[in-house]
Each structure stands twice: as C-alpha cells, then as structure tokens.
C-alpha cells in the first residue's frame, strides 16, 4: 500500500545510512522526497533512483536551511535526520567542537522546523519526525555534547507538539541505539572489536540495528496510522532504553 501518495517530504542528511533508508521507505510509500545533504553525488544518485529531488544543504547554515525549506515547500512531512558525533571525553573537547555538534544536531532541527511549520499550520496537517538517539535519554560516555543535543531534540519536539496539535500537526522523535551506519563504522574503526562487542551487548537483542529498521518507524510516524501519537519518543534500539 502506498500510504503517502501525494505527500511531499523533506529529509535532512538523506544521502546515506539511516537517511538513505528513510528516503527509500518514504518513496516506496508514494511520497515525493527532497533529499537534503552535503554529499551531492550520493544524494543525486538516490534521487534518480526514487524519483526525488536532491539539494545541497549544510544544516549548520541556519539561514540557508530556512531559505531552502521555505522555497521548496510546502511539505506534509519533515524528517530531521542530519546528525554528527565526535567520540571523546568531555575534558578533551573544545568550544568549537561543542558549537559544531550543537549546530548539526539541534540548531539545524530548529531552523528546518521553523521554516516548515507555517505551511503545515495553514494546511491543518503535518508530520514532523526528528531522529534523536538513546544517548539523549541515557547519556553517552565519550559523547556528552552529542547526548545533550539529542536530549534537546526530545525536549524541543515535546514543546512543538504541544504548540501545534491544534493545527493537526504531530511531532515525534525516533531514538535509535547503535545502528550499522557509515558514521558508526568510523567509530568502530577507532575502537575495534572491543567497542563493537560493547555496543552489541548494550542492546537486549545483542546486535547492531539496521538503517531500515529505523526507517520503518519513521515512516509509520509519518503516516495517518500514527495520527493519535504526538510528543513521543520511540526507541528503536534493540531494547537499550528499557
């Protein structure tokens, strides 16, 4: 069933990993997807495959985010997926690192949501799904700023859900645990088998997640089947959050 036929979606960080899986799932359900990413080679290839549109976007450029979302909208579905982490103990990080991590993981969410909401409010319908992290609920050793940003995404989403329910807009968070993505593999290259074993052991199911498992939750929350769900955080983490 193509439950999203006729709807338009905007996905940040949509060229690889979880973002790519989300784009493919949305398109398979009939949505027309704008893929916002910095890697235009991957984004344009994916857009050709799914019949979407690729646009270059750095989510840390907040004014550009607002301009692009406003110019290409309106959208029924907004998926804030772009994210980044640098694993290190907090005392070894710098102010510049903090600012960048907050800009990618939190402020970019502010900007795209701010730009997309007016049209959704006018239409009386919208689905906003923010990709958070179990780190935002539990903390993360070696990822304090990332965890703080993702915790901010959860609090922000609850607030926007409260403000916009009267417009027929739902706002939810999907919180992945360790998922086998290019970003995670970079961390594993540094941490080796010991880190991989620790990540797998942190889940009840004893394995890494797959991007498509996160995408399935996102697409459900984007559908009309989820019309009575808002302000929630759905863990897709193999039981890590229970």
Active site residue 125: no
Of the residues 100, 125, 146, 167, only one is catalytic, namely: 146
For residue 220, give the H/E element and its range. Answer: helix 211-222
Contact 202, 178 (CB under 8 A): yes
Q: For residue 209, which phi and psi values (nearest 5 degrees)?
A: -80, 165
How far, in Å, are 27, 79, 205, 230 from residue 56 at the CA level?
19, 16, 37, 30
Give the span between the Cα atoms of 121 and 214, in whole angstroms.
27
For residue 6, give the H/E element and its range. Answer: none
The residues carrying an active-site annotation are 146
């Amino acid at each position: 069933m193509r439950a999203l036929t006729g709807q338009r979606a905007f996905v940040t960080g949509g060229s690889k990993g979880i973002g790519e899986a989300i784009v493919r799932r949305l398109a398979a359900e009939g949505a027309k997807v704008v893929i916002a990413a910095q890697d235009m080679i991957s984004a344009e290839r994916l857009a050709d495959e799914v019949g979407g549109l690729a646009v270059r976007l750095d989510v840390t450029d907040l004014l550009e985010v607002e301009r692009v979302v406003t110019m290409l909208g309106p959208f029924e579905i907004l998926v804030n997926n772009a994210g980044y982490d640098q694993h290190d103990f907090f005392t070894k990080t710098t102010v510049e690192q903090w600012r960048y991590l907050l800009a990618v993981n939190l402020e970019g969410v502010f900007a795209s949501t701010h730009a997309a909401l007016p049209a959704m409010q006018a239409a009386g319908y919208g689905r906003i799904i923010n990709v958070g992290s179990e780190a935002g609920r539990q903390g993360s050793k070696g990822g304090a700023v990332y965890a703080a940003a993702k915790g901010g995404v959860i609090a922000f989403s609850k607030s926007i859900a409260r403000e916009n329910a009267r417009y027929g807009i739902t706002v939810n968070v999907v919180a992945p645990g360790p998922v086998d993505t290019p970003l995670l593999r970079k961390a594993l290259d540094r941490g080796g088998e010991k880190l991989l074993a620790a990540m797998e052991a942190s889940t009840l199911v004893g394995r890494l997640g797959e991007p498509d498992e996160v995408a399935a939750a996102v697409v459900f929350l984007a559908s009309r089947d989820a019309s009575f769900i808002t302000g929630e955080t759905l863990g897709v983490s193999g039981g890590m959050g229970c």
